[in-house]
Amino acid sequence: MTDSKLHRGLAIEEQACRYLLISRRQEEARIIARNYRWRGGEIDIVLEENRRNGAIELVFVEVRARTGDFWVSGIESVGFRKQLRLRRSIERYLARYSGRARTVRVDILAWDGKRWEEARNVGLGGCS
């Protein structure tokens, strides 16, 4: 990965963190991890959300940035292999997680160069 691509990716992830905290104000979210990496994959952002009913939910966020002309959106670009790596990374993270959350959700947050598009509670289907 080139330095400019890496810096652009980090800048997009920083913007994504700000967007998440602003858009989830009602849920009282807090980011607990960024760029959780291991040899098998990565999780871009992990946050805990205090739900309205008092429950805490652990949210794993995959950040995508696609600018220019593409056949698929950033959300659609999360293919089977990425889903599999993400699922394995989440399983590894959960094995070490000691927080209070009792439910888990996976979201995708995509930047198209103009606005954020968000898909909440996406299933990682076909990845058992």
Chain segment 56-70, per-residue pLDDT in tens: 999 999 999 876 666
DSSP-assigned letter for residue 26: G
Beta strands in 7-67, from DSSP E residues, in sequence order: 29-38, 41-50, 56-65
Give whole-number Cα distances, 42 to 3, 33, 50, 89, in Å: 18, 11, 24, 6
The mean pLDDT value of the chain amounts to 86
- pLDDT at position 2 over 50: yes
Model pTM? 0.86
Chain segment 11-57, per-residue pLDDT in tens: 899 999 999 988 877 668 899 999 999 998 999 999 999 988 889 99
- Please tell me the total number of residues recorded for the chain in this structure: 128
| CATH class of this structure's domain 3-119 | alpha beta
Kindly list the domain boundaries of the chain, sorted by start residue.
3-119
CA distance 98 to 48: 12
Output the pLDDT for position 92.
96
CA distance 29 to 11: 21
CA distance 83 to 70: 20
